Structure 1
Amino acid sequence: MRTNYVTIMMKHFEQMHLEVAAAAETVLDASTVKDKDTVYDCHRFLFVKSGEGKLFAQNKEIPFAKGTLFILLAGMPHRIVLEKDETATVQWCHFRGSYEDRDLYKMLQIPFHIQAENEDAVSAIFFRLFEELARNGLTTKLRTKAAMLELISYYLDSLSLIDNATPTDDLQKIDQVLKYIDEHLADNITVENMAKQVFLHPNYFIVFFKGILGYSPIQYVNLRRMEIAKSLLLKPDSNVSFVAGQVGMQIYYFSRMFKAHTGLTPSRFRKQAAFIAASSGEEREEEEKL
């Protein structure tokens, strides 16, 4: 289940649309924290730079301490309580994604807090966000999105994906479909056959699948075929005709789809990959001589 769990997460985040609404560094004290739950209409990242207290959310009490990074989803009630006479310095940003994000994150059971191993790296990402939002230049949206993706990547890299965690029903269904796809890439995979694996009507299955993966079922199948094709073309003993057969396509249609996907024909991709590999080998040999 672990592999497909990661696949679902990565496919979603690759397509994620982000809009940063606000970001800043704030000093909290007893006068600035509320004694009741707070709910926002956007997602929040909170990074504790200093201070001590507790954060209450989802019927849990989490230490609000230096180095803790929280992701609080839109609509999630939460409350911060500081120790007596304590202040806390936090870096935060509010951001919005697509409407379906919140339900997907819940289904994936993503933890809403981690302990940052490299606090300086996390803080530096926030400072880049602050600078870009203050600059408000031509490329601000691009740069803030890049910083947000880096922050999300850091968060995901730090997660402990628990293999024995009980997956939701939807995750189990998607897991079954993804396994079916990987086992039948050389066959004619239809929406009807995929829907049968999880006993869903084809029309509903398309909506269900796209809501989780971000791609239609056929789009995902073709992307998966191209991923496998690229890995096979890197092997010296795999010719283009063999690779086309392995992903269930006639060579003419395979070549067209591969070029549309990569910008290169399969033969050109293979030659270029071989050239890069040879060049890297020569560079390593030169370094070893030095």
Structure 2
Amino acid sequence: MTTSYFTIMMNNLEHMQIETVAAADSDMERPARSDGRWKAMDCNRFLLVIEGRGRLSARQFSEPLAPGSFGLVLAGTAHAIEVDEGQVLKLKWVHFKSSFGDREWYNSLGLPIVIQAPDEEPLRLMDKVIREVTRDSLTSRLRCKAAVLELISHYLEGLKPVQVRTGGNPPQDLEKINIVLQYIDEHLADNLSVDELSRLIYLHPNYFIVFFKSMMGCAPIQYVNLRRMEIARSMLLQPECNVSDVSARIGMKIYYFSRMFKKHTGMTPSQYRKMGTSMPGAIVLEAEASEVLV
């Protein structure tokens, strides 16, 4: 089941859209307690403690805050910040909106709301967002988006191996999507349809599409084709596999496989295969006479 967690998360991250809405430095003093009440915001919050000590509580978890504490609170999650007696809590924070999949699914993973910043990069990135967020320009928005994506990367890299806090029983939606994902991987060579996939978990096809997209961030058939291209890229870099082997593995005729692969990567399968045998970083652009180019 752990594999499906990472598959879902990776797919959502790849399709995620980011909008930075606010960022600043703040000082909090006791008896501050998140303005005296628990609050749930419409945006996600990154928090980085610079000085002082306190506690961040969210859901059923409560974590201590100290210099270097790096927190992520998802949108809609009720939370509160307490400041220890005699302390001033100096924070940097970034608020951003995102299409980060189904919040309840992420909450069910029990990912920590606070980790220790792995290095000085989160501090540098937060300063960058704070500096750029008030500038009304296209490049500033791009810099903010890039910095927030990097902050997400640092948060994920700072996690210990995921410990799912679900009492040993995965949520029902995770069980359902896991059945579908395993079936897709085992039948990539088949002509998969929405009707066929929806029957696996006893959902109407229309509702299944909505359910799948909420979990994976894309439509079912789009995901199937993405998985086919992922398998193809991996196989093409193996010396013993030729283009015919790959197209057979993913159930596509060579012509359609070549067409889809080139649309997906900008290269034909043979060009991509050559790339793996050339010097690192080199991209072979010459066309092969035996390849169908579209």
Q: Same fold (TM over 0.5)?
A: yes
Q: 1:210 and 1:38, CA in 2 relative to 1: closer, same or farther beyond 3 A?
A: closer
Counterpart CA distance in 2 for 1:121 and 1:43 is 19
Q: Which residue of 1 aligns with 2:93?
A: 92
Aligned-pair identity (%): 46
**Residue 2 of structure 1 aligns to which amino acid in structure 2?**
T
Q: CA deviation at 1:229?
A: 0.6
Q: 1:277 and 1:193, CA in 2 relative to 1: closer, same or farther beyond 3 A?
A: same
Counterpart CA distance in 1 for 2:54 and 2:16 is 33
Counterpart CA distance in 1 for 2:277 and 2:144 is 36
Question: Residue 244 in 1 paired to residue 247 in 2?
Answer: yes
Question: Residue 179 in 1 paired to residue 175 in 2?
Answer: no
Q: CA deviation at 1:39?
A: 3.1
Q: Which residue of 1 aligns with 2:59?
A: 58
| 168, 191, 195: which one aligns with 1:192 | 195
Correspondence list, 1:69-148, <5 A: 69-98=70-99, 101-118=102-119, 120-148=120-148
Q: CA deviation at 1:131?
A: 2.1
Q: Which residue of 2 aligns with 1:274?
A: 277
**Greater Cα shift, 97-106 or 123-132:** 97-106
Q: Deviations over 1:200-242 (max 9, x none)?
A: 2222111111111111111111110011011111112211111
Q: Contact 2:115 / 2:159 at 8 angstroms: preserved in 1?
A: yes
Q: Secondary structure of 2:85's match?
A: coil
Question: Residue 154 in 1 paired to residue 142 in 2?
Answer: no
Q: Contact 1:107 / 1:171 at 8 angstroms: preserved in 2?
A: no
Counterpart CA distance in 2 for 1:71 and 1:278 is 35
How many residue pairs match? The answer is 279
Q: 1:99 and 1:69, CA in 2 relative to 1: closer, same or farther beyond 3 A?
A: closer
Q: Secondary structure of 1:222's match?
A: helix
Q: Deviations over 1:236-260 (max 9, x none)?
A: 2211111100111111111111111
Counterpart CA distance in 2 for 1:155 and 1:215 is 24
Counterpart CA distance in 2 for 1:107 and 1:248 is 35
Q: Which residue of 2 aligns with 1:212?
A: 215
Q: CA deviation at 1:101?
A: 4.5
Counterpart CA distance in 2 for 1:154 and 1:277 is 26
**Residue 196 of structure 1 aligns to which amino acid in structure 2?**
R
Q: CA RMSD in A?
A: 2.2
Which structure 1 segments of 5+ residues have no match?
280-290
Counterpart CA distance in 2 for 1:8 and 1:130 is 31
**Residue 190 of structure 2 aligns to which amino acid in structure 1?**
D
Q: CA deviation at 1:276?
A: 3.0
**Residue 55 of structure 1 aligns to which amino acid in structure 2?**
L
Counterpart CA distance in 2 for 1:278 and 1:152 is 26
Counterpart CA distance in 2 for 1:188 and 1:70 is 44
**Greater Cα shift, 224-233 or 265-274:** 265-274
Which structure 2 segments of 5+ residues have no match?
283-294
Q: Contact 2:13 / 2:100 at 8 angstroms: preserved in 1?
A: no
Q: Contact 1:35 / 1:81 at 8 angstroms: preserved in 2?
A: no
Counterpart CA distance in 2 for 1:267 and 1:59 is 53
Q: Secondary structure of 1:179's match?
A: helix
Q: 1:272 and 1:261, CA in 2 relative to 1: closer, same or farther beyond 3 A?
A: same
Q: Secondary structure of 1:181's match?
A: helix
Q: Deviations over 1:87-129 (max 9, x none)?
A: 01111011111385533422444332222232x2211111111
Q: Secondary structure of 2:163's match?
A: coil
Bigger share in helix: 1
Q: Which residue of 2 aligns with 1:20?
A: 20
**Residue 141 of structure 1 aligns to which amino acid in structure 2?**
R
